[in-house]
Amino acid sequence: MTYYYEGFPQSERDEYIKMVNVDQLEEEVKKIMPEGAYYYIASGSENEWTWRNNTTAFNHYQIVPRALTDMDDPQTDTEFLGMKLKTPIMISPIACHGIAHKDAEVATQKGAAAAGALFSSSTYANKSVEEIAAAAPEAPRLFQLYLSKDWKFNEMVFDAIKKAGYKGILLTVDALVSGYREANIRTKFTYPVPLDFFTRYSGAKGQGQSVAQMYAASAQKIGPEDVRRIKEMSGLPVIVKGVCCAEDAYKAIGAGADGIYVTNHGGREIDGSPATIDLLPEIAAAVNHRVPIIFDSGVRRGSHVFKALALGADIVGIGRPYLYGLALGGPKGVESVLNQLNEELVIDMQLTGCKTIEDVKHAKIAHIPYTADNLPSNTSPAVVKPYPKTDENQIKTVGDSDAVSGASKH
C-alpha cells in the first residue's frame, strides 16, 4: 500500500496499530520510510543532548501514588480556549506530513478528530487549510505560524485560516533559523512534497527546498510588537510557541499573548538547552494561570503527560510519535497513538485518585534526584531482544485448551 509522489514513497494505510508503547514505532517506521525522511523526523540538532534529555528528564519528577481515594472511572475530557476535547494530548505542529502519508495533514486531522484531540497545522503543511478543515469540520484546530518577512504572505495566511475556522495561532519564535541538524546534511534532505501555502502564494512549490532554505524565507527578527500586530490583523488568539523561561513568559503576556507554549522544538534547535519539563515549573509560576500553557518535547508516555499537567501545563503536545503512527496506520494510526498515551494516562489517574484532568493539575509530584536514569529498562526498544527459546521455557498445551498463563508460547 504505497503511493509514489514523483518517486517518493508515501504510505496509503488506514489501520489501527497494535503497540505495547509508542517508542517501538520508531523501528517499525524505518521499514517503510526512506532514510532521509526518517532522520528528518527523528533527529535533533548537533549531539542531540537536548533531544535525549527531553524524555529522560521526566525522571526528575515522580508521581506520588495516593491511597484510599474512593474513586474510579477517571475521565480525560478537558477544555482549551473554549474548545471541548476528549483528551489533554494535542497534535503539535509538524511540517510536511506528506513524508509519512499520501493524505498528509488531512489524514492526521481525521485521526486526531476520532480521538477527540486538538490538532494544529504547520505553515509548512502539504495540504491546504481548507482541505484539512473539510476532513473534520467540527473538530477543534489551531494554526502554527512561521511569520514571513513578507506581510502580504502573512495577510493571505490569516484570511485563509479565519475562513477555514481555525481557532487560534501558535506563533513559533524558537526557530528563527534551523538548528544545526547533522542528519539533514548527511542525507541531503529536501522536502519531497509541495507545501500548500508556498504554492498558492508564489507558485513555487517549496518542494525540493532544504530546511535551511525554508527558514530563510521566514522572519529572523520577531519581537513583542509582532505579537500585537498578528493579533490585530488576524483577530485570533495568539499563543507564543517557544517560551523557555519566566522572563519570556512575562514578555509574551505583556505583548498580549493569549497563551504560552513551553517547548524547545523537540530538541531540534539549541542543543544544550535544558529539557522543557525542567523549565515548566518556573514558567507556570510566572504565568500564574493568567493564560493557558501548552507543553511539549519528549513526551512518550502517559506518565509524561500526567507530570506535565501536574507541573503546570493545560494541554500536552506530542510530535514525532503521531507522525510514526501516521506512516504506519494513516488516520487510524494517529488515533492509535493518541489512544495509547491516553490509556496510559488513565492508569496513572486511577492510581493517584484523579477523577478529572483538573485533579491531575493538583496531583502530588515528588522531585527527588535519583541516579538510575541511564539504566536500561525492560521496555526500552534497545533492550527488547528476541526471547530465548528452550525446551524448558515453553508452556505446554493441556487437552484442547489453548489458554495459557504466565508466559507466551513461541
- Minimum distance, C-beta of residue 125 to ligand FMN, in the bound complex (Å): 8
* Residue placing its CB nearer to ligand FMN in the complex, 209 or 352: 209
Give the residue nearest to ligand FMN (CB): 319
| Active site residue ranges | 265
What string of H, E and C letters represents the secondary structure of 267-325?
CCCCCCCCCHHHHHHHHHHHHCCCCCEEECCCCCCHHHHHHHHHCCCCEEEECHHHHHH
Residues in the chain: 410
d(CA 133, CA 234): 18
- Minimum distance, C-beta of residue 261 to ligand FMN, in the bound complex (Å): 8
* Residue placing its CB nearer to ligand FMN in the complex, 52 or 251: 52
Find where cell 521496555 sits. Answer: 379
- Minimum distance, C-beta of residue 94 to ligand FMN, in the bound complex (Å): 4
Beta strand pairing call for 8-11 and 2-5: antiparallel
- Minimum distance, C-beta of residue 410 to ligand FMN, in the bound complex (Å): 35
Cα distances (angstroms) measured from residue 276 to each of 109, 246, 303 = 26, 12, 15
d(CA 164, CA 200): 16
* Residue placing its CB nearer to ligand FMN in the complex, 98 or 329: 98
Beta strand pairing call for 365-366 and 62-63: antiparallel
* Residue placing its CB nearer to ligand FMN in the complex, 23 or 296: 296
* Residue placing its CB nearer to ligand FMN in the complex, 328 or 359: 328
d(CA 258, CA 168): 9
d(CA 335, CA 177): 32
- Minimum distance, C-beta of residue 404 to ligand FMN, in the bound complex (Å): 37
d(CA 249, CA 283): 7
* Residue placing its CB nearer to ligand FMN in the complex, 296 or 359: 296
Residues 6 or more apart from 65 whose CB is under 8 A from it? Answer: 351, 352
DSSP class of residue 101? Answer: B
Paired strand residues for 63:
365
Binding stretches for ligand FMN (CB under 6 A): 40-41, 54, 92-95, 122, 124, 144, 172, 241, 263, 265-266, 268, 296-299, 318-320
- Minimum distance, C-beta of residue 71 to ligand FMN, in the bound complex (Å): 30
